[in-house]
């Protein structure tokens, strides 16, 4: 008989990753910019949840990949409620 387990997401961002926009907050969203004439090699930017929401409309058309780990915020809130 097997035991049912809940899959725990493997987060890649931690407290060392800071937002590239405000630089004061922890990053929860990692983005990869598509290459363009202005940015031939593309690039990577990290955002806190607040800054990503603020810039999302302009950013989304420029991105080739996005890692959204804002679910960690929900986990932290959930953990706090148990304290
Ligand atoms: Zn920020």
**3 CA from centroid of ligand 1 (Å):** 41
Contacts of 34 (CB under 8 A, 6+ apart): 42, 62, 63, 64
Structural domain includes residue 8: no
Structural domain includes residue 37: yes
What's the domain range around 48? 29-81
From CA 31, how far away is CA 52, in angstroms rounded? 10
With the CA atoms of 35, 63, 25 and 8 taken in that order, what torsion angle do they form, in degrees rounded to the nearest 10? -120
pTM: 0.75
CB 52 within 8 A of CB 67: no
Other Cβ atoms less than 10 A from the Cβ of 46: the count is 21
Structural domain includes residue 71: yes
**71 CA from centroid of ligand 1 (Å):** 16
Structural domain includes residue 40: yes
Structural domain includes residue 21: no
Rounded average pLDDT per 10-residue block, the chain, 83 residues: 59 93 95 88 93 95 93 76 58
Which residue shows structure tokens 């598509």? Answer: 34
**37 CA from centroid of ligand 1 (Å):** 26
Structural domain includes residue 74: yes
Structural domain includes residue 57: yes
Number of independent structural domains in the chain: 1
Residue 53: what pLDDT?
96
**2 CA from centroid of ligand 1 (Å):** 43
Structural domain includes residue 6: no
Residue 36: what pLDDT?
83
Residue 66: what pLDDT?
94
Residue 81: what pLDDT?
64
């Amino acid at each position: 008989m097997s035991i049912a387990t809940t899959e725990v997401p493997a987060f890649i961002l931690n407290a060392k990753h800071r937002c590239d926009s405000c630089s004061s907050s922890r990053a929860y969203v990692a983005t990869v910019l598509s290459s363009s004439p202005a940015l031939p090699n593309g690039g990577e930017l990290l955002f806190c949840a607040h800054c990503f929401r603020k810039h999302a409309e302009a950013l989304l058309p420029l991105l080739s990949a996005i890692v959204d780990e804002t679910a960690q915020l929900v986990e932290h809130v959930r953990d706090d409620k148990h304290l």
